Amino acid sequence: MQNIVTDNEADAKRAMQYLKQNNAGRATFLPISNIQGRRLEERGLEDCFGYVALAPELVDCDRRYSQIISNLLGRTVIVEDLDSAIGMAKQYHNRFRIVTLDGQVMNPGGSMSGGSRAKGLPGCCPVPIKSKRCTARSRPWRGRCMMCKQSIKPLWRRPTLPLPSCKVLQADMKQAQEDLIRAQGDDKLICEKLSAAESQQQALQQEKDNAADRVQALQQDLTLPTPRPPSLKVPLQTPAPPWSRQAARQPPLPHSEKRPAVKQSS
């Protein structure tokens, strides 16, 4: 890496002028006041075979340089070996840089860099690839990775499928994801209907309890004795026959008057 960290842009400008005046080569300057970090937002990286960590997670530095580290290594993933790097690059369509533990690189776009390990990098500021301090700090992690890899190997076999089969599997996986989303929507709808049914059941049960209380109150009212009104005893008078009333209205006949004899016809 040929990157030089400066406090601000003015310091970077003076350093560039110095290199130009003294014909001392070229370098990339990273002003702390201007550099913004980047972070890889891909999902599912932890589940990929051979995944170790994101590169910034393996770097220990002062907090003021965190944006510099994130800018340089934020989109770099560390994996165990080149086979893991190739599989991850195909899965994510070569969208980010992948580096193996032995220094092989899968660049964005699909190009690959690797070979023998060099002692240094050309430029005005050669930097060794590994220092003793980094090697000592990474040794426990490397041992743990190797132990995990050895324990996983009997349980996992990498399939060697042709490209059409992979496309079919990807289509099946996409269909399964759509089915899962559809099933989750159906489950949510069923839960809402079930909640509404439970609310309706509670309302009906409350209405049933109220009706039972009213029936019980009516039954209690029916069992109570009903007070009877006092009886009115009125003597009934027998009506007089009509001829007696007519006789009472006519005056009595005098004794001198005789009734005409009725002539009987022979």
pLDDT of residue 128: 45
pTM of the model: 0.43
Q: How far is CA 113 from CA 76, 102, 249, in A?
A: 14, 12, 151
pLDDT of residue 137: 59
pLDDT of residue 97: 92
pLDDT of residue 79: 92
Q: What radius of gyration, in Å, describes the C-alpha atoms of the chain?
A: 55
pLDDT of residue 74: 86
pLDDT of residue 42: 86
pLDDT in tens, 86-118: 989 999 999 999 999 988 999 999 888 888 755
Which stretches of the chain drop beneath a pLDDT of 50?
Answer: 1, 121-132, 161, 266
Q: How far is CA 226 from CA 105, 109, 195, 220, in A?
A: 104, 101, 49, 12
DSSP helix/strand/coil, 36: coil
pLDDT of residue 44: 86
Token readout for 180 is 């899962």
Token readout for 200 is 């309706």
